[in-house]
Structure 1
Amino acid sequence: MISKSLPLALLPLLPQVSAWGTLGHDTVAFIAQSFISNSTAAFAQGILNDTSSAFLANVATWADSYRYTTEGAFSAPLHYIDALDSPPESCNVDYDRDCPEEGCIVSAIANYTTRLQTTNLSATERQKALKWVIHFLGDIHQPLHVENLEIGGNGINVTFDGTATNLHHIWDSNMAEKLIGGYSLEDARTWAGELVQEIETGKWKNQSAGWLTGLDVRNGVDSAMVWATDANSYVCTTVIPQGEAGVEGKELDGAYYDAAIPVIQLQIAKAGYRLAAWLDAIVEAEKGVEHGHGGGGQKRKEFELEDWMVEARRVRRAFGWNCGAEGHRH
């Protein structure tokens, strides 16, 4: 586990995981591919220059690799929003309180949705915008990407299947990979097929329409806040229902895993279904949307390709992952 006193200069050198891990992000993308319209598929394939059967999944984790480049370092704080709430007593997200001037996942979704619709941008910038939208729609559904406590759970030591790790990591990767048995592209395709079936004819058939409540591509901030609030609620009910003390230092592959897995499956399904609807809405929207359009009260949304200094706490959150994490890197 990373020491909380580790010099900030060393943090970017540490191994890292992405929200949901490769398995989760690829599964979200495959679910979206199952629901998007033919015109949206053609739109995305054209921008991505990819007509393969995994055209969205192939770029689903690009944003995590890109943020480790010199050019993309500015985007690290855009993968989360630090909800300054008090779980498990109270879970809530407030845009004005929790999204700083350098941006957060909510403002990033709004910004890159607008940039994707801006036809006078270069092909490279529109492609990046689409990749970010695909990735951030996944990230915002991971409950610990919508929580400030202990750097989104990175500072809470746990074990899983006998291996020392942290709470954030098991929500990103360990629990989903235990359920599915791997994290390959084909594992994700298979899992997506199972979740799509549950959406279309199974246990979520009657509730999936409700997942699109509040979706308005003209107002990315308000739409993303619906998703952020939804994900954040599980911090109180499922992630740490008994507080930090209920998980700190404990083995979580038993009853905790059994309670968490239905939420992970549900959130992955929601993310894919909402991503499909969001991309469809982008394609259907009128052309020529003004750069920066959106609801009132939005903070800085234009994230050009430049570096800026971020406060120490947010750098720690962006790079403060488990330096002793076992196994593969996501």
Structure 2
Amino acid sequence: MRIVLAAVMVVGASTSASAWGEEGHSIVGEVAQHRVSATTQVGISSLLGQGWSLAAVASWADDERARDKTTTNWHFVGIPSATTTYDASRDCKADAVFGDCIIAAIERAKKIVACGGLPAADRVRALKFLIHFVGDLHQPLHAIEDARGGNEIDVTIVTRQGINGNAPFNTSLHSAWDAALIQKTTWSWGGYVDRLESGWLKTDDAVAIASGTPVAWAEESHKEAIQLIQSLPANRVLDDKYRQDHLDLLDRKLGEGGIRLAKVLDDAFVAATCP
């Protein structure tokens, strides 16, 4: 039976356009900042200014979505669970009101960032989108169409071992992965970065994952999303065991997002070509 609360703790947004919460995006941005090349550092400084921080601007695109609805669909790609592969004609159709999809958005933003001949304001906007969208792509439920990326799957968080309080609360599977699991693991996003730098980012698994393309990364996330939905407990309660069982995946997706963001940014600033 679901727990009904008079006051519900709301974690994350309720639409399929949301992804990692502010903490998750900051984690991905900070991991990337530690890994970008010297050339990329100069390029970012020229756009964001001295003392730049990828973490500081990593959530900007969610605010921009509220102002500009045509960017809504840029935050995800709805690949059906019946398939394991991305099909642009099916999964990235252009919508005049809400836009196309995250894969197309990443490719556009990457080209704009690289083009020194474009206005600085356009390149700054594209850079902020790129930082955000590479993070979004590594939240598994941002790569599946079913149940609106898990937004329509109600769950109850019941933990005793995690931090930030132990009162049960109701949310969605999508929002649980956006923020709740992160918030139950460390007190701050900076603490989570420290956890990754001393943990998963030192493992052999972290060495080769920078390779690949946004399409390949989306298909990885899609397969993981299918598993998350299929393996959901029958009572839809996410407890301490659930968090512990999925902590390796959470670490890996945040670490992958940071490493791959650094690669995407390096590729953009090295290419220095215009669309």
What does residue 24 of structure 2 align with? 24
RMSD value over aligned CA atoms?
A: 2.0
Please give the alpha-carbon distance, in whole angstroms, between the structure 2 residues aligned to 1:281 and 1:272.
14
Secondary structure of the equivalent of 2:144? coil
Q: Contact 2:200–2:252 at 8 Å: present in 1 too?
A: no
Please give the alpha-carbon distance, in whole angstroms, between the structure 2 residues aligned to 1:99 and 1:231.
16
Calculate the TM-score normalised by the size of structure 1. 0.71
Q: Please, which runs of 5 or more residues in structure 2 have no aligned partner?
A: 1-12, 159-167
What does residue 116 of structure 2 align with? 119
**Structure with more relative contact order (C-alpha pairs < 8 Å, separation 6 or more):** 1
Question: In terms of mean alpha carbon deviation, does 43-52 or 107-116 score higher?
Answer: 43-52
Match for 1:268: what amino acid? L
Aligned pairs for 1:52-91 (under 5 A) are: 52=52, 55-69=53-67, 72-86=68-82, 91=84
**How many equivalent residue pairs?**
249
Q: Could you tell me which of 88, 94, 98 is aligned with 1:95?
A: 88
Match for 2:174: what amino acid? H
Q: Contact 1:28–1:269 at 8 Å: present in 2 too?
A: yes
Q: Could you tell me which of 229, 234, 241 is aligned with 1:240?
A: 229
Please give the alpha-carbon distance, in whole angstroms, between the structure 1 residues aligned to 2:229 and 2:14.
25
Q: Contact 1:113–1:282 at 8 Å: present in 2 too?
A: yes
Please give the alpha-carbon distance, in whole angstroms, between the structure 1 residues aligned to 2:248 and 2:185.
10
Aligned pairs for 1:1-330 (under 5 A) are: 18-52=18-52, 55-69=53-67, 72-86=68-82, 91-102=84-95, 103-161=100-158, 162-181=168-187, 187-198=188-199, 202=202, 204=203, 206-214=204-212, 223-237=213-227, 239-242=228-231, 246-247=232-233, 250-285=236-271, 287=272, 289-291=273-275
The 3 A distance-change label for structure 1 pair 199 and 262 is: closer
Calculate the TM-score normalised by the size of structure 2. 0.84
Match for 1:43: what amino acid? G
Please give the alpha-carbon distance, in whole angstroms, between the structure 2 residues aligned to 1:251 and 1:18.
22
The 3 A distance-change label for structure 1 pair 108 and 263 is: same
What does residue 300 of structure 1 align with? none
Aligned-residue offset at 1:241: 3.0
The 3 A distance-change label for structure 1 pair 91 and 258 is: farther
Deviation beyond 6 Å, 4+ runs, structure 1: 14-17
Aligned-residue offset at 1:49: 2.1
After superposition, the C-alpha distances for 1:213-264 in whole angstroms (9 at most, x for unaligned) are: 22xxxxxxxx110110111111233x1234xxx4465211233222222111
Please give the alpha-carbon distance, in whole angstroms, between the structure 1 residues aligned to 2:75 and 2:59.
12
The 3 A distance-change label for structure 1 pair 231 and 136 is: same
Secondary structure of the equivalent of 1:155? coil
After superposition, the C-alpha distances for 1:256-311 in whole angstroms (9 at most, x for unaligned) are: 222222111100000001111111121212x3x241xxxxxxxxxxxxxxxxxxxx
Q: Please, which runs of 5 or more residues in structure 1 have no aligned partner?
A: 1-13, 182-186, 215-222, 292-330
After superposition, the C-alpha distances for 1:13-43 in whole angstroms (9 at most, x for unaligned) are: x976841101110000110011112221221
